[in-house]
Amino acid sequence: MSASEAEGLAGGEDRGAAQKTIRIVLADDHAVVRSGLRLLLDSEPDFEVVAEAGDLEAAQRYVRGHHPDVLVLDLNMPGGSSLEAIPTIREQMPETQIVVLTMQQEPAFARRALGAGAIGYVLKEAADDELVEAVHRAAAGESYLNPRLGARLASEPPPGPPDDLSEREVDVLRLIALGHTNAEIAGKLYLSVRTVETHRAHIQQKLNLSSRAELVGYALRRGLVTSEDSEE
């Protein structure tokens, strides 16, 4: 085989690889929104929307069943917290990348979503311009963040355990703010109830707060939970 033939063959293989179909599960609770997003995604020759989900349980089921390259996931889905579901989906289906599509413009949401395992964060208002690029990047293992949010995140210091709280105390505080009992927190964090009680006492002492309402307000201000989380 000549060098030119070899180069031509290699080029053909590259072009074939570039045309690999990116399989997508689209999850949004509004049918009209899903329809518009599907039209947008289907206009790309290398995209295939293999399933649409209207709630979180269906999204997880379709990801397990279809093994898509990318899950486009709305943050506000019926059936649970999308943010809390992201780590589970990534653990169960590590080959599926997650692009969050949301109306939430606060940096705290983006930080939590990316920290939970999402690879992309796109605002719905910019979906026409950004979603296709975000999905392409996600399929290639590259991250995407709405540029305006990215600038805001870069200008803010990364959050750490606030007010001298330990990482474990932050975990306990978040679950307290979400309404879990000491026994439920113990089960979720694999601790004894007595240890949870000790953590709770330390949290209240460090923050000089006593009621659950005060703890919820603190957790919301610090971005440890969202208003949607706290209403669950």
Secondary structure letter of residue 88 according to DSSP: H
The yes-or-no verdict on residue 74 having pLDDT over 50 is: yes
Most distant pair of Cα atoms in the chain: their distance? 79
Q: Confirm whether 68 is domain-assigned.
A: yes
Q: 217: domain CATH number?
A: 1.10.10.10
Tell me, yes or no, whether 138 and 119 share the same domain. Answer: yes
Token representation of residue 27: 């999850």
Tell me, yes or no, whether 121 and 190 share the same domain. Answer: no
The yes-or-no verdict on residue 189 having pLDDT over 80 is: yes
pLDDT value, residue 162:
66
A 10 A CB-CB count for 91 gives 9
* Tens-place pLDDT, residues 18-67: 568 999 999 999 999 999 999 999 999 999 999 999 999 999 999 999 99
CB 141 within 8 A of CB 163: no
Q: Confirm whether 9 is domain-assigned.
A: no
Tell me, yes or no, whether 149 and 205 share the same domain. Answer: no
CB 115 within 8 A of CB 142: no
Tell which of 127, 154, 181 closes a domain: 154
CA atoms within a 13 Å half-sphere pointing along the CA-CB vector of 31:
0
Q: Confirm whether 7 is domain-assigned.
A: no
Q: What is the DSSP string of 130-191?
A: HHHHHHHHHHTT--EE-HHHHHHHHHSPPP-SGGG--HHHHHHHHHHHTT--HHHHHHHHT-
pLDDT value, residue 161:
61
Q: Confirm whether 6 is domain-assigned.
A: no
A 10 A CB-CB count for 87 gives 14
Tell me, yes or no, whether 130 and 204 share the same domain. Answer: no
Strand partners, 99: 72, 120
**Who contacts 191 (Cβ-Cβ below 8 Å, separation ≥6)?**
185, 199
Strand partners, 71: 25, 98
Tell me, yes or no, whether 121 and 167 share the same domain. Answer: no
**Mean pLDDT in the chain?**
85
Which residue segment(s) compose the domain that 36 sits in?
14-154
**Domain total in the chain:** 2
Tell me, yes or no, whether 179 and 122 share the same domain. Answer: no
Tell which of 154, 182, 203 closes a domain: 154
pLDDT value, residue 229:
52
Tell me, yes or no, whether 150 and 173 share the same domain. Answer: no
Backbone φ, ψ for residue 58 (5° rounding): -65, -40
Tell me, yes or no, whether 128 and 171 share the same domain. Answer: no
What is the average pLDDT across 75-100? 90
